[in-house]
Amino acid sequence: MEKISFRTLSASFMMLFTFTLIFFNESASGDKGVSGKGHHDQHKAGVHRHKKYQHLKNPVEPTPENLLDAIKLYKENCAGCHGDSGKGDGVYGEGFNPSDFTDDLWRHGFTDGEIYNTIANGVPGTVMTEWKSSLKDEDIWKLVHLLKGFSANKSK
């Protein structure tokens, strides 16, 4: 049996708790839950860009040490939903359609800044919660390098 780290368990609990809050708050108010038909509609559906963040450049160098840190962070915080190889097939992501980082579709933009924004601030109306309160800024930028690497290294 695979040993699950406390951080992975905590992150999973946070995602479940967030989903529960979103679902029950919107259901109680007559909204449609996480289907995108509720009060979070102000966030654009489908593929779109975040111009406010497009210009941001990653201040963290993609050194081997930083990439190893990113791998550890990804396994502890992201793989549960997005899968070990970034295909969106993690055990906790079933039914939520997590992003597949290996394809060419970046729903919230593909620049460093847009990816940073998605991780840091989450995606309203989805179970993708914000991580800026539990991860350091530098760690989020490290993850940006790793996520971009999933699509760059895909088999053609």
Is the domain covering 6-152 a CATH 1.10.760.10 domain? yes
In tens, the pLDDT along 77-135 reads 999 999 999 999 999 998 888 888 898 777 777 799 999 999 999 988 888 999 999 99
**Dihedral sign, Cα of residue 120, residue 104, residue 155, residue 83:** positive
**Sign of the C-alpha dihedral computed for residues 92, 98, 100 and 101 taken in this order:** negative
Q: In the chain, where are the structural domains located?
A: 6-152
This prediction's pTM: 0.68
